[in-house]
A and B are shown apart, each in its own frame.
Chain A
Amino acid sequence: QKEVEQNSGPLSVPEGAIASLNCTYSDRGSQSFFWYRQYSGKSPELIMFIYSNGDKEDGRFTAQLNKASQYVSLLIRDSQPSDSATYLCAVKWDSGAGSYQLTFGKGTKLSVIP
């Protein structure tokens, strides 16, 4: 059973602060990890993906991966009210015969307070 765990929140941070979102996964063989943002009533939007241990930065977003600890996180610097959404962590795994799937966590709801 491939499991992806996230704290459901809500996580509330003041505007301008750093928001830290965490995710753990069960399959040690997983290679690729994705962060999606989902606004209420909308479909998920890809923010970042990461596949190597360490940090990957893209604008105000930084993804961090620690495969030994089976842990991936997303940092949002200078948080804005428009960042208020549910953030989904997804883990890619090989489902065989050249196919793959994404398993999603339940998401962490972030609220940025003006």
Chain B
Amino acid sequence: GAVVSQHPSWVICKSGTSVKIECRSLDFQATTMFWYRQFPKQSLMLMATSNEGSKATYEQGVEKDKFLINHASLTLSTLTVTSAHPEDSSFYICSARDPGTGGYNEQFFGPGTRLTVL
């Protein structure tokens, strides 16, 4: 159980284009999903918390107009990187909280999406 998928697993795009990344919880309903970014040899940095049916909560320093998050259903959240630039190249990872974990609220991670902006 507690499987989270992401699509695509990798993407290469030209500077200025937009990229959409999907995050799905496959065997549970996730009212909350999280989006992280990880640069090489760095830890995971939380970008935003995505809540189903409401606006995402962004961390300080993360541009909400550049990183659009839509949590359209209990099993799907999307992150769109708008007008991507080379400095946006990173490993983007989503996670979902499984409410069926006895209240300890472990987060289960998707496999990640490696974005390369040329």
Q: A residues near B, CB below 8 A? A: 32, 34, 36, 41-46, 49, 51, 88, 92, 95, 99-107
Contact = CB atoms under 8 A, between A and B. Distances in A.
A16 to B, nearest CB: 28
Contacts of A36: 109
Contact of A102 (B51, B107, B112): B107
A105 B106 contact: no
A51 B44 contact: no
A11 B104 CA distance: 29
Contacts of A107: 43
Contacts of B43: 88, 104-107
Interface of B: prevailing SS: strand
B106 A46 contact: yes
A-side binding surface: helix, strand, loop or mixed? strand
Interface in B23-74: 32, 34, 42-44, 46, 49, 51, 57
Nearest to A45: B109
Central interface residue in A32, A43, A99, A102, by most chain B CB within 10 Å: A43
B106 A99 contact: no
Interface string B78-89: 000000000000
A42 B111 contact: yes
Nearest to A51: B104
A32 B109 contact: no
Given A42-B112, A88-B44, A107-B43, A101 B106 contact: no
Contact of B112 (A32, A43, A101, A104): A43
A92 B105 contact: yes
